[in-house]
Structure 1
Amino acid sequence: MTKFGQSQPVRRVEDQRFITGKGRYADDISLPDMVQGVFLRSPHAHAKILKIDTTEAKQAPGVLAVYTAADLTAANIGVLPCMIPLKNRDGSLRADPPRPALADGMVRHVGDPVAFVVAETAAQARDAAELIEVDYDSLPAAANLATAMDTGQPQIWPEAPNNRVFDWEVGDKAKVDGLFAGAAKTVKLTLENNRIIVASMEARVSLAAFDKQTGRFALHVPTQGVWVLKKTLAKIFNLPEEKFAVYTDDVGGGFGMKIFIYPEQVLTLFAARALGRPVKWTSERSEAFLTDTHGRANLTHAEMALDKDNHFLALRVHNIADMGAYLSTYAPMIPTMAGTKVLSSVYRFQAVHARVEGVFTNTVPVDAYRGAGRPESNYIMERLIDIAARELKIDRAELRRKNYIPADAFPWTSAMNLVYDSGDFANTAETALKAIDWAGFETRRAASAKRGLRRGIGMAYYLEATGGAPTERAEIRFAEDGLVDVYVGTQSTGQGHETAYTGIISELLGISADMIRIRQGDSDMIPTGGGTGGARSLYSQGGALLSTSDAVIDKGKAMAAEMLETATGDIEFAAGRFAVAGTDRGIGIMEVAAEARKRAGVGYDQAAGLDTATDHQIQAITFPNGCHACEVEIDPATGVTQVVRYVVADDMGRVINPTIVKGQIHGGVVQGVGQAIYEHVVYDNDGQLLTGSFTDYCLPRADNFPDIEVILCEVPCKTNPLGVKGAGEAGAVGSAPATISAIVDALADLGVSHVDMPATPLKLWQLINERQTQAAE
């Protein structure tokens, strides 16, 4: 399949299943005697619930039950927890208001679940939900992040005065203040990182069953890892973990949003136990807009200090982060610990200080979305550098060159106290700039101008820091049908895990790829796992596959030595074959496994044959990085932006499969450009979602893009045995700032230094006309 560091563009082994319609997604699953659930959701962003009358709904055709918060309280069902403890600047703990699975006395965003109707069919459940009478006392909403903490704004939670969830800081404030005081030049910028909807291809599903004899729950749900969900549900239901089995099959996109605990999972489990029948809920797309966690949603003021030679000295950031109406599973971590660790990026800052305030608003909760805080921080950094370059009248690329961490300086301890193990930032940047012909751009700008179009070029260097659980598990079993099952603790949501893992095992054990099956997403079959998030899968799971394969080989040598009647120390292993050193006597690994399995049945001391499981300790995170370069043309008559060229030079460490890596980068670039130009969640002052469908919320489409050119610059990571760096989020980290950089460059002669995302046609058309009118006057 592949050889470590020797990239081969192997086609994905899972794609045959997908393109022939043989994928198995959660909504494809039906269980005997299954019934359907539908939620009644709040039409108000903020209101007291004075009364709920379910009488008529319970009597509707096909209805089996209607549940409200009172039913959950009576059954001692707990609230949905936020998993992230956080201390404020003064040492106190963040606010921690409860999040019930059904609204209890108050609704706090449009779409908040109020009641759950279970019927024989989904249509019957929907009809019955419309019969529920809820008496609301509507309250003013605090839906605007910019004003939610102002005096006199509606109070969303009594536990969070002025709607402030936390007030957190990191970095050396005194040192930063001193560097600013002595700086030759400072630049500052206030910007918005706009709220976006995840819009995964597959909507969320929850299918629950309960076995009365064993007292066990079974939950079929699309996730990014079943184990956190299993542990959390056990706490909510006040039951041992072994009473829950969670299953995830194929997943049509996650992007962070499918990691979290949601009310729908709790209610389907609760109803399945109460009714003694499997209960299924499938999200409609309109529900997804109102209930899936949203992403980004930050307002930031940032400042940068430079010395007389234009070297970066210090960075100061004050970020206001929208949490929505409830704290989602990992929400407080995203703008704080996850995002700020890359604030100094690839540059030689001496000090950084960041203050982050989390704010409740009467909107959908916000949590991790592809990149989880790192795109937001990189955006801040790259926009500041562009503004500094224009104010100093220095080429944007040249200012970055002066400040990159040099290739001979690794390991480098950043201003955020992270140790970067490897990188060649200057060379990676030059690779991208040369590929897009940065030096020859003005010729192309002039050619566009002759056609009445404004052309701009932009760049952004990004640094990603991967994350996730500190251990990962892998197990290899030689099945009785002659195939090899590899059990992994991560969860593919479309990235190509099966192909990558198959390639690694195929090379390590010399087993043909068509004999390897990757098993995932079964909390009974796989006892523990770190799941997928933070671009952790290949470096964490890959390390576990390495250690497990080594253990299999060691077992195999002992077994082969017995079969070949020699000492274990005389056995060598290569290309799937155990052989006596210096002879032609040998035996294949599959034969050894078959013999070991036979002997295991008659008391052989290696009771599991060659079957082996190991837990791999992850020594350090990785730091993918790269340079994005983007060219756009803007039509001043319409404000429409067309991306006409896009180049990425990426350092993902050693690349196991370039086809998969490039595909991941393509997808991330599209999501970042989507945020920069097209996507924007809009609420009105009453907290009503104005962009509640794809009619009003614009996703990027294929014809919005040229071919995305990806150049892989392999600088091996030194902190994991594969030498890889996480690729899953990187494309989304650098694309938004590169795109805005290009758009601003196209408008620079009008005196434009910054445009907030999204740079929609209306926004640009108004800006161009306003500046041209001002110039004419």
Structure 2
Amino acid sequence: MNASTVTPIGAPVRRKEDKRFITGKGRYTDDLSRPGQAHAYFLRSPYAHARIRTIDTAAAAEMPGVVGVLTGRDLAQDGLGGLICGWMINSKDGSPMRAGAHPALAVDTVRYVGDHVAVVIAETLNLAKDAAAALAVEYEVLPAVPDLAVAQAQGAAQIHEAAPNNTVFEWELGDRAAVEAAFAQAAHVTEIDIVNNRLAPNPMEPRAAIGEYDAGDEAYTLWTTSQNPHVARLVLSAFVGLAPENKLRVIAPDVGGGFGSKIFIYAEETVCAWAAKKVGRPVKWTCERGEAFLCDAHGRDHVTKGRLALDAQGKILGFQVKTIANMGAYLSTFASCVPTYLYATLLSGQYAIPAIYCEVDAVYTNTAPVDAYRGAGRPEATFLVERIVDKAARELGIDPAEMRRRNFITAFPHQTPVIMCYDAGDYAASLDKALEMADYAGFPARRAEAERRGKLRGIGLSNYIEACGIAPSAAVGSLGAGVGLWESAEVRVNPTGNVEVLTGSHSHGQGHETTFAQLVSARLGIPIDQVTVIHGDTDKVQFGMGTYGSRSGAVGMSAIVKALDKVEAKAKKIAAHILEASEGDIEFKDGRFSVAGTDRGLAFAEVALNAYVAHKFPTSEIEPGLKEGAFYDPTNFTFPAGCHVCELEVDPETGTTEIVNWIAVDDFGTVINPMIVEGQVHGGIAQGVGQALMERVAYDGEGQLVTGSYMDYQMPRAEDFPAFKVGMTETRCPSNPLGMKGCGEAGAIAAPPAVINALADALGTQDISMPATPAKVWAIAQARVTRQAAE
């Protein structure tokens, strides 16, 4: 579609921002240089757990080109606080979570390999590295606890004094008595043990930061790779104590992917901003990929036991869950809410489960912090639900699709036993469409044909649901959130009729510059190339909550709709005066204001010009100009849902798994740009398949990271996938004006159980864990061959 034309909602418009990205014209943090900047290099702990006895900086400070050497004691002397966790969780006994201190530079103790010990600032990065090698640090090595299985054991080394038994909280949700009653009357009980493997986020652009201090204005500027620059400014101001908010500007320019890992406030950007004043120079740091593996917040890492109570017909009566969640060495910014309110509240899945009870222990280990990664709690919940439902179907001899159909929620709104009230959906419609697109009925014939070729063929379903657009603020506040989760927008109409949209959402690959402009184009009847979207700068946008949890459409665009409502209302007043008509008679359609029942009218640009000329309307009644802002706080979460089908083949001789067909049918509510939505689905599936088949962060017994590069941490490639077949169903979300639900995390949530269910079907066993590597699959396949030969 041509950018010079009006673009309706639902049109597959090519992304406006892609031209600068694919021609090397992007403006990423590492592309920026400030006059006189120096370069930072962080000395990191080589030990998973140790006391810092001494740090001798003298030799390093005398090295060529060194501008400064700073340690945790320097930070403490300046009165700066540590990094925070912004979501309070209370244990089942009502006590608050036990969060240990998290200094940006370690003071007395390091708690994981890669923990920040000191920073060297020099004229060049290589000079900073050379000087760091001259730092003399005396460590007293302490016992390390990298293994979640033993972290709470009697006698395990204590990681934080504030958290006995390395336990941050012991939390619960649901009705234990109701679940016990359900199991007492169950005709069948299915049990499952699951490890949700730890993942590294691996965005294309590593993190980076530039801190600058203006002594004249006594103000800081921080350029950083952030998904929410306003929250970064808030934390650095109110909690770290770097500067008042009006003296701190945070800019997140182009950001090359995040997947959750760039939501958080890390040590490096904190130190760069602080150090800029200390050394009197701008300070730049760019993460190397090895550092990213060590120190970017990891995702997942749950160990779970689930029990499902069913009647004789396969109807679910109750669900009991116990999860131990790895928090790593420190509580990251949103870590505490991921295994609690973003996880347990989705344990009903798409099913009408009368009783659910979940317990979660959050545990410290001597590993990198764990926080939100694409989906954040929802993938962990979906994997558990879809695996145990599939296992129950196999045990009861019920077709997995039929098992799901028997338990679907069919009436809305539906109040689950775990807080969430689903507002709209049609789960059977997604299942039916997916089965049709996958030729589910023809699978037995395809399996038989594969057997003739010596291959094992399997098919797996995943009926996922997620909660997006996390809100309303009052609700999340009652659950422990330290901030509100509304969004802001400002629409500025210029005198010539082009429009600037300022949004508190942030784009790091989602295509906001296109979809947000597309909304404005459709609403105001102006070409999309006359709309500019501005985000990521706290000096331009008053405040915003950033992008994560698929909130940009349902929350961010809804704020834009509210601002557009105000623009249209004021423009109608102006048009009425110019056309000498009653305001009630003014109609606005296709970019034109007209008097109802006449041919008299004005184009949008003409009204915009008159708004600023202000000759023809009484300014005592209407202020000149055409600029409106709005804040939007949703009334509920949104609940995207769908059905993914994975069909695969296993070569029993090599253990290799080939995905031969993938069907994704999703209900995202209103879709603004189907091309961008489909791309989001593709990317999410790729990440989910990566978790299912190959990705896993691993530490050895001493807490050393053994998957610290792409030589050891495998990620999927294009050759690992078939052409995805994407379909959609639609039930509009009733809780926002656009009817949107969110699409960014769906594939990553749906894919892992679809793959593992398909593998279980192919291999004839439910005892298969992620990642299902060729070695693991080969061993299972060979055991199957041996078992069949014995029979």
Range of TM-score over shorter length: over 0.9
* Match of residue 332, structure 2, among 328, 335, 342: 328
User: Compared with structure 1, are the counterparts of its residues 461 and 557 closer, same or farther at alpha carbon in structure 2 (3 Å cutoff)?
Assistant: same
Q: Which moves more between the two structures, 316-325 or 646-655? A: 646-655
SS of structure 2 residue aligned to 1:627:
strand
Secondary structure of the structure 2 residue equivalent to 1:239: coil
User: Take 2:141 and 2:573, find their aligned partners in 1: how far apart are those partners?
Assistant: 73
Residue 288 of structure 1 is matched in structure 2 by 292
Give the equivalent residue in structure 2 for 1:430: 432
CA contact (8 A) 1:5 1:654 kept: no
Superposed CA deviations along residues 173-203 of structure 1, whole A, max 9, x for unmatched, are 1111111111111110111000000000000
The Cα offsets for residues 657-700 of structure 1, whole Å up to 9 and x where unpaired, read as 11111111111101001000010111000000000000000000
Per-residue deviation at 1:470? 3.5
CA distance in 2, matches of 1:443, 1:512: 52
**1:439 aligned residue:** 441
CA distance in 1, matches of 2:774, 2:314: 35
The residue number in structure 1 matching 2:776 is 763
Q: What is the aligned partner in structure 2 of residue 620 from structure 1?
A: 636
SS in 2 for 1:382: helix
How far apart in 2 are the matches of 1:603 and 1:119?
Answer: 61
Structure 1: gaps of 5 or more residues: none
- 2:473 aligned partner: none
| Match of residue 669 from structure 1 | 685
Task: Give TM-score scaled by structure 2 length.
Answer: 0.95
Paired position in structure 1 for 2:742: 726
Contact 1:23 1:250 in 2 (8 A): yes
Against the structure 1 CA distance between its residues 484 and 439, is the aligned structure 2 distance closer, same or farther, given a 3 Å change threshold? same
Contact 1:630 / 1:646 at 8 angstroms: preserved in 2? Answer: yes
Deviation at 1:772?
3.1
2:76 alignment partner, one of 70, 73, 76: 73
Q: Which amino acid aligns with 2:752?
A: A
Aligned pair partner of 1:704 in 715, 720, 739: 720
Query: Is residue 43 from structure 1 mapped to residue 58 from structure 2 by the alignment?
Result: no
Structure 1 residue aligned with 2:18: 15
Q: Is the Cα contact below 8 Å between 1:600 and 1:608 reproduced in 2?
A: no
Offset, 1:601: 14
688-697 or 475-484, which deviates more: 475-484
More deviation, 287-296/467-476 = 467-476
Q: Deviations over 1:369-427 (max 9, x none)?
A: 01110000010011101111111111111111111112xx1111122232211111112
Of 581-590 and 298-307, the range deviating more from structure 2:
581-590
Indicate the residue corresponding to 2:766 in structure 1. 753
CA contact (8 A) 1:5 1:655 kept: no
- Of 233-242 and 221-230, deviating more is 233-242
* Higher mean C-alpha displacement, 372-381 vs 716-725: 716-725
* Amino acid of the structure 2 residue aligned with 1:362: N
Post-superposition shift, 1:524?
Answer: 1.0
In structure 2, the partner of 1:227 is 230
Q: Is the 8 A contact 1:466 1:623 kept in 2?
A: yes
Asked if the contact 1:600–1:609 (Cα under 8 Å) also holds between the matched residues in 2, the reply is no
> In the TM superposition, what is the alpha-carbon distance from 1:564 to its structure 2 partner?
2.1
For the residues of structure 1 that align with 2:493 and 2:167, how far apart are their CA atoms?
55
Q: C-alpha distance in 1, partners of 2:342/2:761?
A: 30
**Partner SS, residue 180 of structure 1:** helix
Matches of 2:531 and 2:26, distance apart in 1: 18
Distance 2:251 2:37 in 1: 17
2:494 is matched with which residue: 475, 479, 483? 479
Question: Retained in 1: the 8 A contact 2:7–2:521?
Answer: no
CA distance in 1, matches of 2:698, 2:615: 63
Structure 2 residue runs without a partner (length 5+): 471-483
Structure 1 position 713 matched with structure 2 position 726: no
Q: What is the letter of the counterpart of residue 86 of structure 2? A: M
Judged with a 3 Å threshold, the aligned counterparts in structure 2 of structure 1 residues 91 and 5 are, in CA distance, closer, same or farther, namely farther
Aligned to 2:355: 351
> Could you say if the C-alpha distance between residues 224 and 293 of structure 1 is closer, same or farther in structure 2, counting changes exceeding 3 Å?
same
Aligned ranges for residues 148-159 of structure 1 at < 5 Å? 148-159=151-162
Match of 1:578 in 2: 593
How far does the alpha carbon of each residue in 1:287-335 deviate from its partner, in whole angstroms, 9 at most, with x for none?
A: 0001100000000000000012211011000000000000000101001
Measure, in 2, the Cα distance between the counterparts of 1:343 and 1:653.
Answer: 22
Q: Distance in 2 between matches of 1:417 and 1:155?
A: 34
Contact 2:83–2:267 (Cα < 8 Å) also in 1: yes
Q: Measure, in 2, the Cα distance between the counterparts of 1:238 and 1:546.
A: 35
Q: Is the 8 A contact 1:629 1:647 kept in 2?
A: yes
Q: CA RMSD in A?
A: 1.7
Q: Is the 8 A contact 2:206 2:286 kept in 1?
A: yes
1:776–1:570 CA distance, 2 compared to 1 (3 A): closer
The 3 A distance-change label for structure 1 pair 481 and 19 is farther
Q: Which moved more, 1:688-697 or 1:382-391?
A: 382-391
Q: After the TM superposition, which residues 136-151 of structure 1 pair with which residues of structure 2 at under 5 Å, given as runs?
A: 136-151=139-154
Percent identical pairs in the alignment equals 47
What is the TM-score normalised by the length of structure 1? 0.97
**Partner of residue 654, structure 1:** 670
Shift of 1:93: 1.1
Find the aligned partners of 2:618 and 2:717 in 1 and give their Cα distance: 61
Q: CA deviation at 1:638?
A: 1.2
1:201-350 equivalences under 5 Å are: 201-235=204-238, 236-237=240-241, 239-350=243-354
1:554 matched to 2:569: yes
Structure 1 contact 466–726 (Cα < 8 Å) conserved: yes
The CA deviation at 1:238 is 5.3
Counterpart-to-counterpart distance in 2, 1:593 and 1:766: 70
Deviation at 1:5, TM superposition (A): 9.3
Does residue 417 of structure 2 align to residue 411 of structure 1? no
2:533 to 498, 518, 531: 518
Residues of 1 paired with 2:214 and 2:618: CA distance? Answer: 35
1:4–1:720 distance in 2 versus 1, CA, 3 Å: farther
Which residue does the alignment assign to 2:645?
A: 629
Cα distance between partner residues in 1 of 2:555 and 2:245: 25
Structure 1 residue 249 displacement after superposition = 1.3
Deviation of residue 770 (structure 1)?
A: 3.3
**For residues 52 and 603 of structure 1, what CA distance do their matches in structure 2 show?**
71
Match of 2:549 in 1: 534
* Native 8 Å contact 2:763 2:780 kept in 1: no
Distance 1:601 1:335, change over 3 A: farther
Inter-partner Cα distance in structure 2 for 1:701 and 1:368: 23
Q: Deviations over 1:720-773 (max 9, x none)?
A: 11111111111111100000001111100xxx2131100001111122223433
Distance 1:90 1:470 in 2: 27
CA contact (8 A) 1:459 1:628 kept: yes
2:699 aligned partner: 683
Question: Within the alignment, does 1:372 sit opposite 2:367 as a pair?
Answer: no
- Displacement of 1:775: 4.8
Point out the more displaced range, 145-154 or 33-42: 145-154
Please give the secondary structure, in 2, of the residue aligned with 1:366. Answer: coil
Greater Cα shift, 439-448 or 456-465: 439-448
Counterpart of 2:785 in structure 1 is 772
**Preserved CA contact (<8 Å) 1:457 1:743:** yes
Distance 1:584 1:552 in 2: 23
Deviations 1:31-65 (A, max 9, x none): 11111100000110011111111111101110000
For residues 162 and 603 of structure 1, what CA distance do their matches in structure 2 show? 71
In structure 2, how many angstroms separate the alpha carbons of the residues matched to 1:5 and 1:276? 51
Kept in 1: contact 2:577–2:617 (CA 8 A): no
Partner Cα distance (1:88, 1:271) in 2: 38
Segment drifting more, 148-157 vs 38-47 = 148-157
**Residues 3, 609 of structure 1: CA spacing in aligned structure 2 closer, same or farther, 3 A cutoff?**
closer
Contact 1:334 1:373 survives alignment (8 Å): yes
CA distance in 1, matches of 2:553, 2:7: 12
Give the Cα separation in 2 of the matches to 1:309 and 1:267: 60
Letter aligned with residue 42 of structure 2: F
- The question of whether the paired residues in 2 share the 8 Å contact of 1:555 and 1:610 is answered with yes
Q: Does 1:180 align with 2:195?
A: no
